Structure 1
Amino acid sequence: MRLLHTSDWHLGRGLHREDLLPAQAAFLDHLVTTVRTERVDAVLVAGDVYDRAIPGLGAVELFDRVLHRLAALAVPVVLISGNHDSARRLGIAARLIEQAGVHLRTDVARCDEPVLLPDGDGPVAVYGLPYLEPALTAAELGAARVGHAAVLGAAMDRVRADLATRPPGTRSVVLAHAFVVGGEPSDSERDITVGGVPSVPAPVFAGVDYVALGHLHGCQTITERLRYSGSPLAYSFSEAEHRKTMWLVDLGPGGEIDARRIDCPVPRRLHRLRGTLAGLLADPSLERHTEDWLQVTLTDTARPDRAMEQLRGRFPHTLQLAFEPEGVVGDGLPSYGSRTRGRSDAEIALGFVRHVRGTDPDPAERELLQRATEAAGAAARGEV
């Protein structure tokens, strides 16, 4: 059986105010094309379909459109809710749309109710474990304690118990949305820490042939049978070096796994630049980045005037700008109170400018700040 494993679409999400809906639409077009050309038997979506609990209309329309297209190809789809999704909203009419071959698993009570996919080598039981918020699901699952490992362990106990009732040779697949030990996070996943322990050990998923994981945005292999597809698009500059893909998984008659990566469309490359403003604007080797989405860190000792405007003159897709002046030494004082204690208003104002820019105010600025703080003080005392 050939499975296409994807996750973390985050429909409706942007990148530093850049609208990604067109790029997300292009990815879904690519997904449908892949299903058709690779003769995929079933699509697995391991959570975070949407970026937020109440998605925008554009995101909902994209989701609706891709489900219709996959249903028209008569390819079953199994989806679970992730920690960004509203399980209740995503699961509306779940049993009704199952008639079209779209199987939504957003209800904890259905985690041991498999989607049975027929195959020439025998049936494949696909179990969907929605994101399990420990505080909300531990009691329902009968978990021994409140924690990610405990609730996933209890859910997997139910899966294994159901699997034991199936005919011998039934192969098994689990979809789950979790942080598994050994996975590499990025900056764009929402923290799911509970009690300081966000991760679960891989052996929690023992006893099944393939685990289609979601939550981490980098495509990665935990074990041969446990894989993250990663997100189809980069949602932070920490993902600049990611190769965005889906997993095409061939599940053999005895549960053998043969997996290869299918590249996703790249709307624009992401890149990080660092240096002085003058250097970045003049460096001819950076011409190859003029069409990239950029995160720029300026190292000028003083903040340049109209820095973003100048950068976008050469790099029109600069999205994020930061300042880290080189050679600037802090005052060594640990707190705001320590830095201001015993100082006049004018000294505090001058110190603030020094802290922000990395350099002292020039004489004209010092005089202006001195007059302004004196006037403010006089007004506060009722002298004017």
Structure 2
Amino acid sequence: MRILHTSDWHIGRSFHGNSTLDALSTVLGALVRQVRDNDVDVVIVAGDVFDSAVPAAACYTLLSDVLGAIADAGASVVVTSGNHDSAARLGFTSALLREGIHVVTDPLSVGTPVTFTDEHGPVHVYGIPFLEPGMVRHHWPEAELRTHAQTLDHAMGLVRADLGTRGGRSVAVAHCFAAGVSATPLLERDIQQGGLDIVPLSVFDGPDYVALGHIHGRQQLAPHIRYAGAPVHYSFSEGDKPRGSWLVEMDAAGVASVDWLELPVPRRLVTLRGRLDDLLTAAEYDAHVDDWVCAVLTDDTPQLEPMRKLRARFPYAAKIELSPAKRHAGDAVTYAERVAGAETDQELIARFLAHVRAGRGPSERERELIDDVISASRVSELSA
């Protein structure tokens, strides 16, 4: 049996204000071709199908089109909900889908597999929807479920108990931070309010393969425990991470092989560093005019309308970061600390200018202008 492991589609997520629906549609179309070309029997989507609990109508259309295309390619599908999804809305969608597409969102379904059969017998796929402890502990009052780790441990206990009765090969599907993973800063939101709740790898003992979601980069925590990552890039910080899915081959004994299948990148992400004038004129940047661009500007002072100028050369410039080449001893001082000791309006303005211009305060001519403006303001106040 051949199983394709994917996750974290995040249908509906924007990229610096730009829709990703067209790019995601292109990539998921390539995934459908992988299903057909590799004679895949089952596709697993390990959570975060949508990016929000209330997706737009176009998001539902894309999901139903892709799942239908996977079914037309000859594969069944098992989808679980993630922390971004609304389990209720995703579960409602399942009632409208065709046979062979299984959407697992009900906590009470944990421990009950979707079973597929090949020439070697059954393969049990145990989908575990995202389980928020505070939302599900009433289902299992006998268990202490304060953290996501405890909740997943309880869920996997139900899986192992059922598997002990059924026998055969098995796959578990979960959406979590597992021990040893490296998250993408500011992108993968904590799955527990108040901090990072790490699930030990020992929680996943038992199944032949564990298909995980939530981390946007491909990772292998053990030969049989893996993250597939997101199919498209949703952040410049993950621009160097490959996009794809895991093709898992099951034989009579369990997992025979796991291979990585690359997915196309509709538009590359690059980070360009330099002075604004150099980025706008240097020939070395010609190769990036069709890429998503994050520009790290090293100019000593803020530039006028930098995004407008960048987009004249790089139509897909999406982000600007400021990193002045010149540093001074006060760089670590906050703005509030810098201006707190100002005794006059002139000094306050001078400290402000030093803060925004990498330590360079007003010139003599600027000081004269500042004095004139402040004097004129005081005259106006006295005349009012």
The TM-score, its normalising length taken from structure 2, stands at 0.92
Give the corresponding residue for 2:160: 160
Counterparts of 1:163 and 1:377 in 2: how far apart (Å)? 82
Amino acid at match of 1:176: A
Give the corresponding residue for 2:63: 63
Give the corresponding residue for 2:230: 231
Are residues 363 and 305 of structure 1, via their aligned partners in 2, closer, same or farther at CA, if it must alter by over 3 Å?
farther
Give the corresponding residue for 2:351: 351
Q: How far is the alpha carbon of 1:254 from its aligned partner?
A: 0.7
Give the corresponding residue for 1:185: 183
Counterparts of 2:348 and 2:46 in 1: how far apart (Å)? 53
Give the corresponding residue for 2:136: 137
SS of the aligned residue for 2:18 comes to coil
Matched, 1:292 2:287: no
Give the corresponding residue for 2:328: 329
Are residues 361 and 149 of structure 1, via their aligned partners in 2, closer, same or farther at CA, if it must alter by over 3 Å?
same
Give the corresponding residue for 2:50: 50
Give the corresponding residue for 1:116: 115
Q: How far is the alpha carbon of 1:311 from its aligned partner?
A: 2.1
Give the corresponding residue for 2:197: 198
2:248/2:255 contact within 8 Å kept: no
Give the corresponding residue for 2:317: 318
Q: Deviation string for 1:157-208 (max 9, x for gaps)? A: 0011111110x4x111011000111111113211224554421111100011
SS of the aligned residue for 1:123 comes to strand
Q: How far is the alpha carbon of 1:274 from its aligned partner?
A: 1.0
SS of the aligned residue for 1:278 comes to helix
Amino acid at match of 1:285: E
Counterparts of 2:173 and 2:10 in 1: how far apart (Å)? 17
Q: How far is the alpha carbon of 1:20 from its aligned partner?
A: 1.2
54-63 or 324-333, which deviates more: 324-333
SS of the aligned residue for 1:261 comes to strand
1:147/1:195 contact within 8 Å kept: no
Amino acid at match of 1:16: H
338-347 or 178-187, which deviates more: 338-347
2:27/2:266 contact within 8 Å kept: no
Q: How far is the alpha carbon of 1:117 from its aligned partner?
A: 0.7
SS of the aligned residue for 2:53 comes to coil
Q: How far is the alpha carbon of 1:285 from its aligned partner?
A: 2.3
Give the corresponding residue for 1:104: 103
SS of the aligned residue for 2:14 comes to coil
The residue correspondences of 1:8-27 to structure 2 (distance < 5 A) are: 8-27=8-27
Are residues 325 and 335 of structure 1, via their aligned partners in 2, closer, same or farther at CA, if it must alter by over 3 Å?
closer
The number of equivalent residue pairs is: 380
Q: How far is the alpha carbon of 1:86 from its aligned partner?
A: 0.6
Q: CA RMSD in A?
A: 2.2
1:149/1:200 contact within 8 Å kept: yes
Give the corresponding residue for 2:84: 84
Q: How far is the alpha carbon of 1:268 from its aligned partner?
A: 0.9
1:333/1:339 contact within 8 Å kept: no
Counterparts of 2:378 and 2:286 in 1: how far apart (Å)? 52
Q: How far is the alpha carbon of 1:251 from its aligned partner?
A: 1.3
Counterparts of 2:329 and 2:58 in 1: how far apart (Å)? 47
SS of the aligned residue for 2:30 comes to helix
Q: How far is the alpha carbon of 1:368 from its aligned partner?
A: 4.5
Q: How far is the alpha carbon of 1:280 from its aligned partner?
A: 2.4
1:350/1:369 contact within 8 Å kept: no
SS of the aligned residue for 2:126 comes to strand
365-374 or 132-141, which deviates more: 365-374
1:148/1:194 contact within 8 Å kept: no
SS of the aligned residue for 1:343 comes to coil
Counterparts of 1:355 and 1:110 in 2: how far apart (Å)? 58
The residue correspondences of 1:248-267 to structure 2 (distance < 5 A) are: 248-267=247-266
Matched, 1:307 2:335: no
Are residues 34 and 334 of structure 1, via their aligned partners in 2, closer, same or farther at CA, if it must alter by over 3 Å?
closer
Give the corresponding residue for 2:245: 246
Unpaired segments ≥5 residues, structure 1: none
Q: How far is the alpha carbon of 1:3 from its aligned partner?
A: 0.4
Give the corresponding residue for 2:361: 360
Give the corresponding residue for 2:214: 215
Amino acid at match of 2:180: G
1:353/1:361 contact within 8 Å kept: yes
Amino acid at match of 2:85: D
Counterparts of 1:93 and 1:42 in 2: how far apart (Å)? 19
The TM-score, its normalising length taken from structure 1, stands at 0.92
